[in-house]
Structure 1
Amino acid sequence: MAISRDARGGSRKDEHVALAEELRGEHAPAGVWDDIRFLHRSFPGLAVDDVDLSTTVCGRPWTAPFFINAMTGGSEKTALINADLARAAAATGVAMATGSASPALKDPTLAHSFAVVRDVAPEAFLFANVSPEMTVAQAQDAIGFLSADALQIHVNPAQELVMPEGDRDFRGWPDRIGEIVAGVDVPVVVKEVGFGLGRASIAAVAEQGVHVIDVSGRGGTNFIDIENRRRDRQEFAYLSGWGQTAAECLLDTLHRDSASDPAPQVQVLASGGVQSPLDVVRALALGASAVGVSGHFLHVLMSAGLDALIAEIEAWLSQVRTLLALLGASSVAELREVEVLVTGSTAEFARLRGVDLQALARR
């Protein structure tokens, strides 16, 4: 399945997908996880078959520690993409999130572009997705479109401010999130859209009753670049590197040594720039309960088709299991005990933020 440049003349959602692929072709994703390394073990002490990849997210057991993260929906073309992503999720047993339901909440004729996900993946763990601007009733509608098991609330001020038609007023977002948390009957996950959810922001939503967050750092699909390309003058190019990586957010949230500023008591998911099974293992070792993958899986689907995406996800499952065996970790929980070496610019960020890197390297 391929979307030509002509698709950019359609809806904003079609334009986002086309630009994400176009920008990926122009700029290969940077290895934002490469500063995270492991000590090799010559005697890992277990067999690959001993490794259990299961994890628990939003109080529910998952058989895989990574998932298809929020991407799209809201047009006829993105309905086809969502259907294929859901088929891949159903075939491989991974969870899936849709993109923002805002288009369907404004135009109910577009609801099928989200509902199709549940239609083709009836047993999958599914996340609906809304913005903090939505009301409780709208959030409930978004959940209803796909009988979602949980709800993502995406926070995206950087994208909105560069988006030509984006929001310009972000007052009251935490309170609105709190209203949604109190008003829906599924777990709520607050996630960034690729610029990193920081410690202070996590604390703000934790105060509103949020128990799960997705740090969603920079390095993957860059919505500043996408929205800037949609501007006549493209004057925000200098913001291309804005934000923190997911690795930086995980270190800052889960490993900073500060008795006066304890880490928020939330479950942490990670996404942003995940390009390989090794990146998944890196995020899990830094404390993520599960890892979201968007751009890479979308690229495989768009360039090679559904069968290739299913094969890719199955290969990732096998390789993540292999990597845990190589590290001597029989489970995700044991992976959090292996030694992690943090180097490069990530180490510099961590030192400035008070992270004890020696403790990570010697745990």
Structure 2
Amino acid sequence: MLNRKDDHIRLAQEQFHPSHFFDDEIEFVHQSLPLVHVDKISSQQSVLGKKFAWPFFINAMTGGSSKTKRVNASLAQIAKDCNLAMAVGSMSPIFKDPSNKDSYTIVREVNPDGIIFSNLNLNYSPSQMQEAVDLIEADALQLHINAPQELVMPEGDRDFSQWLKKIEASVKQVKCPVIIKEVGFGMSQETIQQLLSVGVKAVDISGRGGTSFTRIEGARRKQPLLSNWDNWGIPTPIALLEARAAFQASKKEGKITLIASGGVQTPMDVAKCLALGADLVGLSGFFLQLVLDHTSKEACRLTKAFQEEFLMIMALLACQEIKDFSHSSLIFGDRILNWAKQRHLSLEEFSTTKGR
């Protein structure tokens, strides 16, 4: 387990590259009269029973070894210094070797008052999930679903038949908000409809575009894969459109917390996710590079520059607060247009700026 967690960090760092899908496929329509006062803009977002200072956070990455403990400590320091929420990586190692617990508890030690998410897969009982929550005094639990990764992983799971039942049990029994999270493959509207049917109230669609866990696990295999699994999944912006369609069909739009992640690397990417309907946006690769390539002081400086640029974007889009992103006008590229046409996803609401 220890070697696998360290491998994930090494391979994720090696495959990190600029993602162009957001730039190539989505543009904001510039408005020359934003009519806002920059100093009065609010970046706060209230979801999951908490008030977030920023609508983006450090998403799940790692834990389970001495090396990943250092990474988590550095990430937690950024979260504390820059007032960001943070999710830890899968906490399954704590049930295999209790000595790994400190690679997760370090996050709460460094940032005692911050918003922190715990993280597990579906192989654990609701009581074990609660144990993971209690260990780091988590404000929410991410339960990740990762069938492609498991299938490519040499030691991965092969039985997914009870996943939906396990999700239903977790939502009912865990004593904090439960977020059902993909791991870079995106969610379709059919998947989200299944989740809504068992009471799920928060999803992270985590689309294709960032770290590819099929690629990571493929690199760990002794027997190479014959097919190209690097492009498996639904790109993040398209998964957001799929989610909106599912919410509208079930009449639950605005009642479910929608989190976007996967290939989100810039403040503009964050803004586009919010304009597409996300309530929160998670970034992993961006923050991993910060802590691996920079000192703590420099990583904090770059994070604050990210936050400052995000406020600039809010000003240009006349967003006095986060909910105003829903009024933005967007222009889409051919890949999104083709997908939307074949999947019957409406884009009309994004075509013109709505009144405030």
TM range (shorter): over 0.9
Cα distance in 1, alignment partners of residues 168 and 152 from structure 2: 26
1:43 partner SS:
coil
Code of the aligned partner of 2:310: V
- Kept in 1, the 8 Å contact 2:187–2:242? The answer is no
- Kept in 2, the 8 Å contact 1:256–1:354? The answer is no
TM-score, normalised on structure 1? 0.93
Count how many residue pairs are aligned between Structure 1 and Structure 2.
351
Partner of residue 76, structure 2:
86
- The answer as to 2:59 corresponding to 1:69 is yes
- Measured against aligned partners, the alpha-carbon deviations of 1:206-255 in whole angstroms (never above 9, x if no partner) come to 22221111000010011010000001132155111000011001112215
Alignment partner of 2:293 out of 295, 303, 311:
303
Change in 2 beyond 3 A, CA 1:258/1:73: closer
Alignment partner of 2:148 out of 158, 166, 171:
158
Partner of residue 14, structure 1:
6
1:33 partner SS:
helix
- Kept in 1, the 8 Å contact 2:188–2:239? The answer is yes
Matches within 5 A, 1:276-315: 276-315=266-305
Offset, 1:174: 1.0
Offset, 1:14: 0.4
Alignment partner of 2:19 out of 26, 30, 33:
30
Offset, 1:163: 0.5
- Kept in 1, the 8 Å contact 2:193–2:246? The answer is no
Change in 2 beyond 3 A, CA 1:350/1:294: same
Offset, 1:30: 2.6
Alignment partner of 1:334 out of 320, 324, 327:
324
- The answer as to 2:132 corresponding to 1:132 is no
Change in 2 beyond 3 A, CA 1:182/1:330: same
- Measured against aligned partners, the alpha-carbon deviations of 1:39-68 in whole angstroms (never above 9, x if no partner) come to 111111112112111111212111101000
In structure 2, runs of 5+ residues without a counterpart are none
Cα distance in 2, alignment partners of residues 339 and 187 from structure 1: 32
- Kept in 2, the 8 Å contact 1:161–1:168? The answer is yes
Code of the aligned partner of 2:136: L
Offset, 1:263: 5.9
Same amino acid, percent of matched pairs: 38
Offset, 1:268: 0.3
Cα distance in 1, alignment partners of residues 167 and 96 from structure 2: 19
Bigger drift between 242-251 and 306-315 goes to: 306-315
Offset, 1:343: 1.5
TM-score, normalised on structure 2? 0.95
Bigger drift between 195-204 and 11-20 goes to: 195-204
Alignment partner of 2:135 out of 136, 145, 154:
145
- The answer as to 2:345 corresponding to 1:352 is no
Code of the aligned partner of 1:51: I
2:172 partner SS:
helix
2:124 partner SS:
coil
- Measured against aligned partners, the alpha-carbon deviations of 1:340-363 in whole angstroms (never above 9, x if no partner) come to 112221221122222222331124
Cα distance in 2, alignment partners of residues 168 and 205 from structure 1: 21
Code of the aligned partner of 1:29: P
Bigger drift between 83-92 and 227-236 goes to: 227-236
Change in 2 beyond 3 A, CA 1:205/1:311: same
Cα distance in 2, alignment partners of residues 164 and 29 from structure 1: 29
Over aligned residues, Cα RMSD in angstroms?
1.7
Code of the aligned partner of 2:14: E
Cα distance in 1, alignment partners of residues 246 and 130 from structure 2: 36
1:111 partner SS:
helix
- Measured against aligned partners, the alpha-carbon deviations of 1:127-154 in whole angstroms (never above 9, x if no partner) come to 0001011111210111122110110000
